[in-house]
A and B are shown apart, each in its own frame.
Chain A
Amino acid sequence: DARVTQTPRHKVTEMGQEVTMRCQPILGHNTVFWYRQTMMQGLELLAYFRNRAPLDDSGMPKDRFSAEMPDATLATLKIQPSEPRDSAVYFCASGFVSKQSRGGGLVTEAFFGQGTRLTVV
């Protein structure tokens, strides 16, 4: 049963500490998304990758957040230093997107992990 795996599921940390969230996308998927969900802002796209290359991280606070894909089986989202306003649920999702030569594309839906609930105190 293919699924996106996120670790940890829950994280409580003190302000100023570094936080690293990990995601294992579904094997064969070439696109990985990081979202943040809060009551006030809903689901915000922080960054996304295709074939491990970052395509758009404009939704991410650059001074403290960073996202990488060291290899095809691992995506990471780091916050350093963390702040109370970073408290949220962080989702990773993966999917497959490709162009087709005669127009259109091949697209799967995005499959989501169970999320990491981050609390910064």
Chain B
Amino acid sequence: AQTVTQSQPEMSVQEAETVTLSCTYDTSESNYYLFWYKQPPSRQMILVIRQEAYKQQNATENRFSVNFQKAAKSFSLKISDSQLGDTAMYFCAFMPYNNAGGTSYGKLTFGQGTILTVHP
């Protein structure tokens, strides 16, 4: 079974500063995807960034980047130049896939979430 852990229930940051959200996961799978989703007060779940485990290069999307450490099973999200609109709940998620199949194939599991508040 896969587990995803986000150890920071809440974080805060000043506008324009940088913040890093932590995520660790536990799995015996070798092929998987990792995702960060954002949920603003509107409650709509929005994909922020994704990482394929077989790619060593860390994914980047504008102000958002990840630090993917496969051996340590760590997947942190860095938000640079924080903006007020970044205020939201952030979820880390894990999805395994492999040719052996099984019920875990393509199963998307989320961490508990981190509430991020950006202050002006």
Contacts and interface: CB of A to CB of B under 8 A. Distances in A.
Contacts of B31: 103-105
Interface in A46-71: 48, 50, 55-56
* Interface band, chain A: 20 to 34
Contacts of A76: none
B101 interface: yes
A91 B47 CA distance: 15
Interface in A76-121: 89, 91, 93, 95, 97, 99, 103-105, 107, 109-112, 114-115
* Interface band, chain B: 20 to 34
Given A43-B113, A105-B31, A112-B45, A99 B101 contact: yes
A55 B95 CA distance: 14
A109 B35 contact: yes
Given A45-B107, A91-B45, A112-B45, 12 more contacts: A48-B108, A50-B106, A55-B103, A56-B104, A56-B107, A89-B43, A99-B101, A103-B99, A104-B54, A105-B98, A110-B35, A110-B108
8 contacts: A43-B91, A43-B110, A48-B108, A56-B104, A95-B106, A99-B97, A99-B99, A103-B98
Interface of B: 31, 33, 35, 37, 43-45, 47, 50, 54, 91, 93, 95, 97-99, 101, 103-113
